[in-house]
Amino acid sequence: MPDLDLAVIGNGSIASLIDRDGAHQWCCWPRLDGDPIFHRLLGTDPQAGSFAITLDRQCASSQRYLPNTAIVETILQDEAGNALRILDFCPRFRHYGRIFRPPMMIRRIEPLSGMPRVKISLHPGFAYGAQHPAAGMGSNHLRYSGPEFTLRVTTDVPLAHIVHERCFTLARPGTLVLGADEPLEQAPDTLFTRFYAETEAYWQNWVTDLNIPFDWQEAVIRSAITLKLCSYDDTGGIVAALTTSVPEAPGSGRTWDYRFCWLRDSFFTIAALNRLSATRTMETYLGFVLDIVHGQEGAELPPLFPVAPGMDLEERIAPDLPGYNGDGPVRVGNGAASQRQNDAYGAIILSLAQLFVDKRLTVRGDAVLYERLRPLGEIAARVALEPDAGIWEFRGRARVHSFSAAMCWAALSRLALIATAMGREEEAAMWSVRAAKLRGEIMARIVTPEGWLSGVLDEEVCDASVLILPDIGFITADSAEFMATLDMVKARLMNGGFVMRYEEADDFGKPQTAFLLCSFWYVNALALAGRREEALTLFERVLAARNHVGLLSEDLAPVQDGEPARLWGNFPQTYSQVGLILCAMRLSRSWEDGLWRAS
């Protein structure tokens, strides 16, 4: 059965998921939301849609990231003690004054001990698994032609061994370069030496510039790099995850395409990038959000967008991919794009408020942008108390959700902040008055008779999304209502030590798995409320659920009947990595306390 013990390589153009044995299981081409040339993750054929390197009589493997990089090292061993090292990376470095990040991946295979017998299996596919062409052989390369593009693998490994998948003795290092159908200007070995050194230096320098907490440094660095790998450099958009249709739970039918940019994610992602001082990544992402605002002309906003033009949002089924462990359907596109999700206005304005107050940024908010945001504020005021699909994107019902209403309040509140920053005091007062009135209406309808905050206005719905209301300034974490909400979450949403989204049945029945981001929300809320020890305990529990290289998906099946906790859902989940960063920042000791005051 496949699992999510996967490492990720990438460069801001493409990304690929590699399993513990060094096989590429998922890679979209030529961008993050493109056609999956490697799609074994969602298939059942052990060869179709994968790129594997195996040892004859292989008995063990280990895998890690090289420190502070996006370069993956996999070591394979056989029964006789022979060992092989695989290095995987996508080149990324500064060249001619700009970032060089072609759709290209490089595999280096090196004998570590003995004379390992190696087999290379390369079977890219096209059109979501509909086509698996045979290789066309050139002098030093193989070509695989699809309906929209052709892949070329240039190598110094004998081509016949690859085409016929024959074991051969690896006596010296070999290099395989997968990219566009263009000849290489250098020999593969020479190109590897240069690109490897440049890429390693790029990532190490990028990490050096991060502002990280004293505690949990490795976890935060890995999450920050992963967040960067989910960013599409050409536009600045950040996908929610690199995959589609990994189910939230086995047999649930909850299989969604996450290779899009959700507006609600923007506020939390920008908050994480800001705290990390990843200013350039934050600025390009703000540019992506800014383009959305300038393109909407005051119309109501959809909740998600493609990371670049050309990807159809309309949801359809890919019939040639059976799904994760045969558990489909595999969806391309996302029907949530046509839903009404009223939190989008708060997400946009919360995000772009950064441009008016952050003096580090080269692009600054001005009167023109403010005039673009004002109509969104008016829409937020109008729809705040109207039904929508909510943060969880319910497909079969609409209600007035507390999170959506509070985010509409945040839109009005931040417009007051922006107007103040621009010296428009009368307009700031107007937005503040309207925000205060809206908040009063929401609070009158979300506090239950027992005193906790409901996820739906005028009903008693236990929902983890209300945990983030202190973060947007809607309520204080030490208020009686929020304290009661923390106790409610603990009593009714904890499942095997982790937090569920909600407890009631939805379109697909009752949820089976915990939602990792909700656990991070709970950690953060506990810390804000002064319950630090509880927060630390849960945070360490979530950290322990990461896979072997420190990555998280969307969902977690908690420990049951002695079985270990298991990751489910699309991978790697940007929201989960953001939650880890923000909680580590919240809980860590200061550098002064951790280093200079250490006993």
Asked if 510 and 463 sit in the same domain, the reply is: yes
Instruction: Provide the pLDDT for residue 279.
Output: 87
CB-CB contact of 348 with 376 (8 Å): yes
Asked if residue 1 belongs to a domain, the reply is no
Residues 157 and 216 in one domain: no
Q: Residue 165 has which token pair?
A: 């998948």
pLDDT value, residue 298: 65
Instruction: Indicate whether 594 belongs to any domain.
Output: no
Check which CATH number belongs to the domain holding 485 and give it.
1.50.10.10
Give residue-wise pLDDT tens across range 532-567: 999 999 999 999 999 999 999 999 997 766 677 899
Q: What confidence score (pLDDT) does residue 1 get?
A: 45
Q: What's the chain's length in residues? A: 599
Position 599 in a domain: no
CA distance 67 to 223: 13
Rounded CA Rg of the chain? 25
592 in a structural domain: no
Q: Are residues 314 and 361 in the same domain?
A: yes
In this structure, the answer to whether residues 230 and 173 fall within a common structural domain is no
Question: Which class for 261: exposed (0-12), middle (13-18), buried (19 or more C-beta within 10 A)?
Answer: buried
In this structure, the strands spanning 141-145 and 136-137 are antiparallel
Q: Is 597 a domain residue?
A: no
Same domain, yes or no: 252 and 103: no
Residue 314's identity, in one-letter code, is: E
Judge if 334 and 266 occupy the same domain. Answer: yes
Residue ending a domain, choose from 163, 184, 207: 207
Burial of 560 (0-12, 13-18, 19+ CB in 10 A): exposed
Q: What are the beta bridge partners of residue 560? A: 563
Q: Are residues 166 and 296 in the same domain?
A: no
Please tell me whether residues 327 and 469 are part of one structural domain.
yes
Q: Do 288 and 196 lie in a common domain? A: no
Predicted local confidence at residue 560, as pLDDT: 67
What's residue 511's pLDDT? 86
**What pTM did the predictor assign?**
0.96
Q: Any bridge partners for residue 257, and if so which?
A: 244
Backbone φ/ψ region at 479: left (φ over 0), alpha (ψ -120 to 50), beta: beta
E strand residue ranges, 48-191? 50-55, 58-65, 72-78, 83-89, 93-95, 98-100, 105-113, 117-123, 136-137, 141-145, 150-155, 168-169, 174-180
Are 191 and 42 contained in the same domain?
A: yes
What pLDDT does residue 488 have?
97
pLDDT of residue 299: 75
User: At which of 184, 207, 230 does a domain end?
Assistant: 207
Domain limits for position 76: 6-207
* Domain shared by 60 and 179, yes or no: yes
Indicate the SS3 state at residue 530: coil
Domain boundary among 176, 207, 238: 207
**Same-domain pairing of 240 and 362:** yes
At residue 122, the pLDDT reads 97
Number of domains in the chain: 2
- Per-residue pLDDT at 404: 97
Residue 176 forms part of a structural domain: yes
Q: Using 50 as the pLDDT threshold, list the residues of the chain that sit under it.
A: 1
